[in-house]
Chain A
Amino acid sequence: MMQQLNATLRRVPEWAVWLVGSLPLILLTADVLTGNLGVDPIRDIEHRLGRTALYFLIGSLMVTPVRRLLRLNAMHLRRAIGLLSFSYAVLHLGAWVLFDMGLLWGQMLRDVVKRPYLIFGMGAFVILLILALTSNRFSIRRLGANWRKLHRLVYLAAILASLHWLWALKLLSSWPVICTGAILLLLLYRAYVAWGQPLKEALQFR
């Protein structure tokens, strides 16, 4: 069955990921245009875009564990998933700048260097920007082995993005905590693969 699934998965083109990935934006736009967003559309637009960016970031972190644990290979779709996360992060930041802050550049600049939740968010955004800029074939070839090292920054981006969310809350609520937990789990898996396995083997051979 896995073989069949993998065969199907291999035939899924990148543009199909983009198509599915644009659905949250289409639904959001429809909700804005039909006045379906309720009393404070600005907050809804901003928060939905931010959450979608985080979901795709989590999705991109799932590709490797899913391949190793379930033997399902979606590696050829990972770049599109990552770029979708970046695209929603751009829209999220844009909504903050334009709708929420109303282009108050002075206050935005003062806040961005002072408020932890904005420092976290901007940090995550800058990392995603760098990763997006170096996601093309040319950069991958040019950077060689360094490309993998550079793109490990996505782990940091994921942590910063969840801190950005948690730090803006008045009281901890369950959904952002669950998302943060998912990210920690996905990072722990990598730590285990990188250090846990070798450590276990080293101990066994003693």
Chain B
Amino acid sequence: AWALQGKPSPLSTDQKPNSFEEITNYNNFYEFGYGKEDPARYADALTTDPWSVEISGLVERPGNYGVEDLAPESALEERIYRLRCVEAWSMVIPWLGVPLSSVLNRAGVQPGAKFVAFQSVLRPSEMPAQRGSGIDWPYREALRLDEAMHPLTILATALYDKPMPNQNGAPIRLVVPWKYGFKSAKSIVRITVTDRQPETSWQTLQPREYGFYANVNPQVDHPRWSQATERRIGAGLLAGRVETQMFNGYGDQVAQLYAGMDLKKNY
């Protein structure tokens, strides 16, 4: 495949991105196993072509959309984002993708819509951990409509200049950089616009530990570990930790979405 390109964006960070090696060999994708090397080890088996995304619910034009249809190569933007995992490690990742709002606008959001739900692919024959228990598959995530329409929120289809590697959520995945990584659902097959707050996988599994919002917040700890600092992957043995930023450093753009909300309660 030839090199993909995206238009540079003012929303990108100027921090140095992690290497392609690092990004594709260390991540969580629980469908392939609980270890951070498991996605790289097993994701080859996933078939991503053909692929379509069903958009349904409170939309004007429901239906099955192809990936190229939702995120045409000519529309790709480069978004270099910080990624903060709920496990207190972080990376900087150069995604290529399109704003989720462009996709939702194509489908036409109906008045009365309040939330957008995402469903990842369910394919136990290709995803070993889906054959076991642990999480009630398929993986589900959701955003409030204003979060989904925010310019920072993208559907990514490429990483650096390469089509999205399977282990990172091929062929199309969500990226919401001010929230913990688990909110950014991978390998999406269904987007549902709804008026009720959808159930999400981690919140259903451990409601005390994982909330619906899951905004990066150094002042609200995970019940079992601190979120005050994080370890930047690839920084070296003696690099130590960096302080975690409110909303992962995207507060200027997103803090107003949560004005007046108690973020300790809505974690």
- The interface of chain A, by Cβ under 8 A from chain B, is 38-42, 98-104, 107, 110-111, 115-117, 167-168, 170-173
Contact = CB atoms under 8 A, between A and B. Distances in A.
5 contacts: A38-B26, A40-B26, A40-B233, A103-B240, A104-B241
B207 to A, nearest CB: 14
Nearest to B209: A170
Interface stretch (B65-73, B107-115, B187-195, B224-232): B224-232
A107 B224 contact: no
Give the dominant DSSP class at A's interface. Answer: loop
A21 B135 CA distance: 38
A102 B26 contact: no
A42 B89 CA distance: 11
B241 A102 contact: yes
B134 A171 contact: yes
Interface in B102-157: 134-135
B258 interface: no
A111 B30 contact: no
Nearest to B182: A170
A117 B21 contact: no
Given A102-B241, A115-B224, 10 more contacts: A39-B36, A39-B234, A40-B233, A99-B238, A111-B226, A116-B224, A167-B224, A168-B224, A171-B134, A173-B34
A119 to B, nearest CB: 11
Interface in B1-51: 21-22, 25-26, 30, 34, 36-37
B226 A171 contact: no
B261 interface: no
Contacts of B233: 39-40
A107 B228 contact: yes
Nearest to A171: B134
Nearest to A172: B134
B107 to A, nearest CB: 34
B237 interface: yes
A99 B241 CA distance: 9
A167 to B, nearest CB: 6
Contact of B240 (A104, A110, A115, A167): A104
Contact of B225 (A103, A115, A172, A173): A115
Nearest to A39: B26
B199 interface: no
B250 to A, nearest CB: 23
Give the dominant DSSP class at B's interface. Answer: loop
B239 interface: yes
Interface of B: 21-22, 25-26, 30, 34, 36-37, 87, 89, 134-135, 224-226, 228-229, 231, 233-234, 237-241
A40 B36 contact: yes
Given A107-B226, A116-B224, A173-B34, A39 B22 contact: yes
Contacts of A111: 225-226
B34 A42 contact: no
B229 A104 contact: yes
A99 B30 contact: no
Contacts of B241: 101-102, 104
B21 to A, nearest CB: 7
Given A99-B237, A100-B231, A171-B135, A39 B25 contact: yes
Which of A104, A107, A170, A172 has the most C-beta atoms of chain B within 10 angstroms of its own C-beta?
Answer: A170
Contacts of B87: 170
Nearest to B23: A39
A110 to B, nearest CB: 8
Nearest to B233: A40
A171 B30 contact: yes
B222 to A, nearest CB: 9
Contacts of B135: 171
Which of B21, B134, B229, B237 has the most C-beta atoms of chain A within 10 angstroms of its own C-beta?
Answer: B237
A102 B34 contact: no
A39 B89 CA distance: 12
Contacts of A172: 134
B136 to A, nearest CB: 12
A102 B233 CA distance: 13
Given A38-B25, A99-B238, A107 B134 contact: no
